[in-house]
């Protein structure tokens, strides 16, 4: 573990109806193990329901979240990202976080929300496929990177099939794991690499 986690602020996990509950599981589980408090943020404090049928009562309403109070804002995918403007306030909140220098991590449909907000016009990024974001008519197509996950400054993006790579980039950005340990964590959870497990066991001693 890096000493970067010694002075921790909470991680804010956005939750809204139809959010993809599997996309951020690796990220939040291991951030919690590293000592970060995970605080859920909904449109209001009213309960929301994930795609998988999980009912979540948010800890905070979006309007009550300030960038300086958190270590990271995580935006999972959701059907609602492509079904209108209901989640646009979360993209605007992401802009406030980035403007304040607080990291944002977006996966799956949340990347389209950031594209519509103009946050990917001048940053390297990825998503499910390039033409998915092109449908938003954003201006950042030349900055699209065909990779499992991409970090540009304080922004992490990933496609829906890459929750492990998404977590890897978050851990790197926050300094939770680095170097050989980060590589081993990724190989264990992405490739079931037994040798990587041995590296992690040694690092934990």
β-strands 155-158, 149-152 pairing: antiparallel
- Taking the C-alpha atoms of residue 72 and residue 175, their distance in angstroms, rounded to an integer, is 12
DSSP letters of 63-90? GG--GGG-SEEEE--BGGGGSSSTTHHH
DSSP single-letter state for residue 152: E
- Kindly state the greatest CA–CA separation across the chain: 50
Q: Is 192 left (phi over 0), alpha (psi -120 to 50) or beta?
A: left
Beta-carbon contacts of 204 under 8 Å, excluding residues fewer than 6 positions away, are none
Please indicate whether residue 108 is annotated as part of the active site.
Answer: yes
Angle 194-204/179-191 helices, nearest 10 degrees? 140
Catalytic residue among 91, 108, 167, 173: 108
- Taking the C-alpha atoms of residue 148 and residue 13, their distance in angstroms, rounded to an integer, is 21
- C-alpha distances in angstroms, 80 versus 49, 59, 90, 185, 199? 12, 21, 12, 32, 40
Write out the catalytic residue numbers.
Answer: 108
């Amino acid at each position: 573990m890096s000493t970067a986690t010694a002075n921790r602020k909470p991680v804010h996990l956005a939750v809204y109806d139809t959010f993809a509950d599997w996309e951020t599981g690796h990220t939040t589980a291991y951030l919690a193990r590293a000592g970060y408090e995970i605080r859920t943020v909904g449109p209001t404090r009213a309960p929301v329901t994930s795609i998988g049928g999980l009912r979540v009562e948010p800890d905070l309403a979006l309007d009550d979240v300030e960038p300086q109070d958190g270590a990271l804002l995580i935006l999972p995918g959701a059907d609602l990202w492509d079904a209108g403007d209901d989640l646009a306030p979360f993209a605007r909140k992401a802009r406030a976080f980035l403007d304040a220098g607080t990291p944002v991590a977006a996966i799956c449909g949340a990347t389209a929300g950031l594209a519509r907000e103009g946050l990917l016009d001048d940053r390297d990024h990825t998503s499910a496929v390039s033409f998915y974001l092109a449908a938003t008519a954003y201006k950042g197509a030349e900055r699209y990177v065909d990779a499992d996950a991409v970090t540009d400054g304080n922004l992490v993006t990933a496609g829906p099939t890459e929750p492990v790579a998404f977590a890897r980039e978050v851990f790197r950005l926050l300094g939770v794991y680095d170097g050989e340990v980060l590589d081993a964590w990724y190989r264990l959870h992405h490739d079931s690499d037994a040798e990587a497990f041995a590296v992690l066991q040694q690092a934990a001693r």
